[in-house]
Structure 1
């Protein structure tokens, strides 16, 4: 999973400087040449659900930043999301996002596979480029892969969503402007991977995440393009882990690909996983889901689920909506390039009962 965009937060105390600075040293900051220092103090405070003074404390404690003569300290957004993820307060956007999105792993096994209908909206923010200088970019988003196994479009979705009047349906085959609204039915499937060569590769990658040899954290998009380099640095997220897994499976003579789309729940989150072609079907392998559910995380309210972890080695879940992409390409683009964080694409997801 990637760090979710800000959403309506649950009640509770906001994290202060003391909690946030405790995250420093627990993750790897964005490397020079890859870090993008453009997030101001006010935006950082909003994203971490804290006050500007706490952000200034982070800067003083050593979080990398640049000082702009007009906007003051500017931070890398991925660094900020990692601060939120590792601070241990339980109240930042990344912590709450992971907790809400992984709740389904603790539900009965049958609930992972039965058909579920979802209303999905993907809408880029308004006024893109305002205040950033230059013309607004051409924004495109990847559309759902309605031909994927277990994915079916539901006709005539009606007007249940407040966005229905402004968002079009899925009208493109790969990339679409203005976002979209769709109702889909997702059906999971139980599969087991038989290929003996896949199991040691799987154990190595999931094991490295589970024992902390490799730190699970937000990774900049540019570094995601070179997963072996990120892995050597000791960091990975869902895109890095799935690309690395697919590459090693292919090196072992197996047919594998990377998928990227949305994990649906209280909201939608960018997620990536690997698929192995076997027995005439693509069987999903999700190393990040496997490691999170194998170890659990009491601080974030995530219970361990060995059964769910085992199911991640081949089974398809009814909360993952793949998009049309090749090798885990970014879901949002500005002028044909990966969009920066402030694109703030709004991803909504809710059960559909129409």
Structure 2
């Protein structure tokens, strides 16, 4: 075993730290080789996970097939610091440790959205004919959202684009505080359930994201589930709120969701998952930042590109159905270079 390979006991130990995808929403389509790449593990270690109880199906030609979301949760909770989901979260959240002013200043980004059509991304094995049959559509940037300016690319006249797009955008953050005690109460309730681990922050399959109340009752949530639930509870107490979804930009782009609430005519962002991750800190390999966690309650960050959605709907579709989690490896972002 190489130094970069996850320790077998660490992977198996993760099985008790999250909840596997319910059978009615699980997609057992990820083979051992793809699982091993995502977990930085040997195929034998993936086989041991199956033997220890990780749900899977056995295909006569491809062998054991796993749910990709389950694999991402194994990686996130194993604590090796080397798996794809651990490295991804750490890189994406590095900006939280930057000076406060850097979270809000205008920032120019080059964004490319060309979703992967095979698990594991470019270079992964898949029948070419199967790839060619996929009708791929993606949601486009919401240029009407506060702090979003298109510099290059488009036009984005429709909410969905075929195959993908490239664009340059300027994102400008904003510092806001929240006064309404109703917002404070709802926010505190949602964040407290995550902090107490009554609800586990983990990867959630897209069909379960759609039924976010069921997910919350099952005790699991990701950013989409938390944003939708928060928006529902805010509307229930008479406030104007909606779940937003787009991309968190950094060394690459990642699907992310948050909530917007209107106070005094101003759209204020509420991000319970960012606040939770910045609060628990090293538990996820991310530095603790109370200041950043506090900013998640009302302020808008210059690394979040909202897309055109009504209630945090999926960003990528294959044949008009929500694309699997692994399609996100086709999202790229980098600071825009000016000559």
Matches within 5 A, 1:164-183: 169-183=154-168
CA shift at 1:274, angstroms? 0.3
Maintained 8 Å contact 1:143/1:170: no
Maintained 8 Å contact 1:15/1:50: yes
Residue 126 to residue 37, structure 1, CA distance change in 2 (3 Å): closer
* Residues 5-58 of structure 1: per-residue CA shift (max 9 Å, x gap): xxxxxx962213222111011100001111111111111111212221111011
More divergent stretch after superposition (146-155 vs 246-255): 146-155
Secondary structure (helix, strand or coil) at the match of 1:90 reads coil
Residue 93 to residue 153, structure 1, CA distance change in 2 (3 Å): same
Partner of 1:33: 24
Residue 43 to residue 264, structure 1, CA distance change in 2 (3 Å): same
Matches of 2:83 and 2:3, distance apart in 1: 10
For structure 2, the 5+ residue unaligned runs are: 120-125
2:223 pairs with 1:238 = yes
Secondary structure (helix, strand or coil) at the match of 1:296 reads helix
Maintained 8 Å contact 1:170/1:181: no
Q: What TM-score results when the alignment is normalised by the length of structure 2?
A: 0.93
Matches within 5 A, 1:57-72: 57-72=48-63
Secondary structure (helix, strand or coil) at the match of 1:145 reads coil
Secondary structure (helix, strand or coil) at the match of 2:276 reads helix
Partner of 2:44: 53
Matches of 1:113 and 1:320, distance apart in 2: 11
2:176 pairs with 1:191 = yes
Partner of 1:311: 295
Matches within 5 A, 1:203-352: 203-298=188-283, 300=285, 302-343=286-327, 345-352=329-336
2:337 pairs with 1:353 = yes
Aligned length: 331
Matches of 2:93 and 2:38, distance apart in 1: 20
Matches of 1:78 and 1:124, distance apart in 2: 17
CA shift at 1:353, angstroms? 2.4
Maintained 8 Å contact 1:82/1:217: yes
Secondary structure (helix, strand or coil) at the match of 1:241 reads helix
Maintained 8 Å contact 2:76/2:284: no
Maintained 8 Å contact 2:226/2:272: yes
* Residues 146-177 of structure 1: per-residue CA shift (max 9 Å, x gap): 1211010114xxxxxxxxxxxx7454421001
Q: 1:136 aligns with which of 109, 133, 153?
A: 133
Secondary structure (helix, strand or coil) at the match of 1:310 reads helix
Q: 1:123 aligns with which of 105, 114, 128?
A: 114
Matches of 1:15 and 1:138, distance apart in 2: 36
Residue 193 to residue 259, structure 1, CA distance change in 2 (3 Å): same
Secondary structure (helix, strand or coil) at the match of 2:163 reads coil
* Structure 1 or 2: more helix by fraction: 2
CA shift at 1:287, angstroms? 0.3
Residue 214 to residue 131, structure 1, CA distance change in 2 (3 Å): same
Maintained 8 Å contact 2:40/2:84: yes
Matches of 2:313 and 2:321, distance apart in 1: 10
Residue 131 to residue 80, structure 1, CA distance change in 2 (3 Å): farther
Matches within 5 A, 1:71-110: 71-110=62-101
CA shift at 1:228, angstroms? 1.4
Maintained 8 Å contact 1:101/1:263: yes
For structure 1, the 5+ residue unaligned runs are: 1-10, 156-167
Secondary structure (helix, strand or coil) at the match of 1:58 reads helix
Matches of 2:287 and 2:234, distance apart in 1: 30
Residue 272 to residue 134, structure 1, CA distance change in 2 (3 Å): closer
